[in-house]
Structure 1
Amino acid sequence: MNNNYDPNLVNAFLKEYQDRGMMKWQGFYLSDHTVASYKRNKEKEIKSNRKHLQEMSVPEIFKELSDAQKNNSKVSVDLRQVNKNNILLEPVTGYIKGKDTRGVYIEEKYVKFEDIYSVFCEWHNVINV
């Protein structure tokens, strides 16, 4: 045991010591955290800068959807709606499972025809290559 213990020295240290606050924890901010933060910011940036494809007429939309269903091709449907931050919603992507008079089923999601801005069919890329 150390016999040089001085209670006055301890009290003086505690009175004068200034905690550096968050600075002492900055060394614990790992590169994994930095990468994850960068990815989240990049995804937000991409979503906020998303633009519509070229708008299609109703007959063009019906033709694309019919061709995609006939060829069993994957489609990406660009929606007219925006979220509360005025950012375009993600396109609905998948295979057409069915249609009715008011909309189309793409995988498990129902999309009304009036909400469709444009349609991109995967089979166009295959044919045009």
Structure 2
Amino acid sequence: MTVKYTPDHEWIELTGDDDIATVGITQHAQDALGDVVFVDLPAVGATLEQKAIAGVVESVKAAADLYAPVSGSVIDVNEALRADPSLANSDPLGQGWFFKIKLSDRAQFDALLDGPAYEQLVQNS
């Protein structure tokens, strides 16, 4: 299991050799947004390009775009999150995941930030 991060505060976890990854927002993003009240998730079957808008997260403070950390096809979305957006606050790295994507280019995943590099980014922001 490998977790990578984007400068836009999304995490992406690759759990096997099938190039299927789970995407969500980081604890830092969740802290900055505050109480999440609505999520707009991509459609299952949608093809996303890396860095394209994949959805929207709305909180009591602000709305923020959710970006695709890699290119690929959306194979699943978290319907529990759509029904209860507060999961993005209570468990952003677990039950608060947003969607699953089948990577079209593994090199894009490999080029994302690892944990220490992401922590450095957050500390410097």
Q: TM-score, normalised by structure 1?
A: 0.23
Larger radius of gyration: 1
Q: TM-score, normalised by structure 2?
A: 0.23
